[in-house]
Structure 1
Amino acid sequence: MIYSTCSHDPEWKKTFVEYMNAELAQTDERFPVMGLSTVDLEGRPAVRMVSPRGFVGDNFLKINSSDHGQWASDVLTFCTHAKSNKVQELVNTNDIQVICWLPNIKVQIRCSGHAHLLFHPDNPNYSTLSIDMRHRVWPRDGTDAAKKVAAEDRRESSVVGGTVEPLVNNMVEIDTEYIREQAYLHHSPVIQAWYSWPAPGKIRSADPSLYPPEIPKIEDEAEKEKYEANARRNYVLIFIDVNQVDIVDLNENTRKIHTRRSDTSWAVSNVNP
């Protein structure tokens, strides 16, 4: 996967994208592998390796079916099985960190923030998604949406007095279920099948039919439909609302910490590696 940016991207995302693309150009991987740290239900740290799905608005994660690349964001996404331990951990405490080491270019990136989980509509936790992504999305350069926002900004600059709600927030229609479905569809058949399996971490059953390697290869149509429904029901998309990014470049011997201010702008500190 090639990550992309636009001029509204915060500096940390531009740097993130630059480093990720440089690393992936030297590997056969589509996504980098990152460590995701949560707090377990007994208050202890829990870390596992995960692969990000990219930023909302980029590549296949369009914000709705009418989005043809008009929108970008700094909301990073991951996915998980609805019955995995990390789900209950994130529902209980949504403070997280993700970290990756890019060995070919000798760069470490650590992102801190809050995780927001989007469940399948049949899941009792479906309504827990609390992030308002309208404030984390902006029009990509050169698109009709960007031109419309620019024109409205020029018009509003001539208005004296009063407050005007940002036009971007009024324009953006975010279909989170569409985003979740696109994220699911862009997994390989092998990974899709994994979501139909029993709960991760439990004792493995002796019944091999519970672990289909690929759902399309199931011959019985009723069984195939059942496993496909289970896979979609168990698929959870995690939105990371990033509030701090720590980037260490050992080639340049630099370390920058990007911190989001209360007004959603970003402050950058150059610190010792």
Structure 2
Amino acid sequence: MGGEQCGGDPEWKRAFVEFAGRERAATGGKPLEMALATVDLDGQPAVRMVGLRGFLGDEFLRLTKDDSGQWTSGILAFCTHAQSAKVQELEDTSDVQIACWMPHSRVQIRCSGEAHLLFHPDNPKYESQALDIFHRVRPRDGAGGGPADIDDEYIREQAFLHHTPEVQAWYSWPAPGRVRQPDPALYPVSISSIGDQDEAARREAAARRNYVLVFVDVNKVDIVDLGRSTRMLYTRRSDTSWSAVEINP
């Protein structure tokens, strides 16, 4: 048994970051892709790939413009379109599981937890979706102290800006999952390529309104390392510390 927090991060996150770093190095910095499992509105399983944005508090997901990197968490983040089916599914059932396979390391990681949605302030759902996760953020050095200051719109905006112009433009497109329209003007490759400045401004505003960050408050992690033929199961205790047990692969 083990898995206690050390240096601000639990053992499973340190392992996750190490394996993900190896994978990015082997793929030339390619973002890590994960399979997100939800329950659809008919009660059936729904799985799709999502791009991991990282952990809240790390890199470009810092908490405020004055955050110098002193905060950390085990909260995973990815993004989606406000009108996507998975937003409705996550509003209906917040329990999710995310899985990834890292072929260069021969490691599979599954994270279970509860999803929380961060909408644009202009979205009517912004006020109704309380982000009850920030108490999970803690000092990176493991020291005690008061709760972290949070600027949720700063976090969402920084995540949006760290996409390529092509990905940013996707969020200005019509709602995902609908029949594609014949008008190519509805699907710009990038907003900067739009000649009409007023239309470009409308598109950029729409992209930001449609951009939703999804945070997963992780409570269980299953790491299978086929290279070493090991498997570790981490479970968050009620006091927020973590247990760890080695199980059969």
CA shift digits 1:70-90 (9 cap, x unpaired): 211111100000111000000
Which residues of 2 match residues 1-273 of structure 1 at below 5 A? 7-141=7-141, 149=143, 167-169=145-147, 172-273=148-249
Deviation of the 1:92 alpha carbon: 0.4
- Structure 2 SS opposite 1:168: coil
2:96 partner letter: I
TM-score by length of 2: 0.95
Give RMSD over aligned pairs.
1.5
Q: Distance in 2 between matches of 1:36 and 1:21?
A: 20
Deviation of the 1:245 alpha carbon: 0.2
Deviation of the 1:69 alpha carbon: 1.3
Q: Distance in 2 between matches of 1:245 and 1:235?
A: 27
- Structure 2 SS opposite 1:77: strand
2:146 partner letter: V
Q: Which runs of 4+ in 1 moved over 6 A?
A: none
2:66 partner letter: S
Q: Which has the larger radius of gyration?
A: 1
- Give the direction of change, closer, same or farther, for the CA distance of 1:128–1:255 in structure 2 (3 Å limit): farther
Deviation of the 1:134 alpha carbon: 3.4
Gaps of 5+ in 2: 1-5
Q: Distance in 2 between matches of 1:231 and 1:213?
A: 13
Q: Which residue of 2 aligns with 1:155?
A: none
TM-score by length of 1: 0.87
Deviation of the 1:22 alpha carbon: 1.1
Identity value in percent: 59
Gaps of 5+ in 1: 1-5, 151-166
Q: Distance in 2 between matches of 1:128 and 1:186?
A: 27
8 Å Cα contact 2:118/2:131 also seen in 1: no
Q: Distance in 2 between matches of 1:49 and 1:32?
A: 10
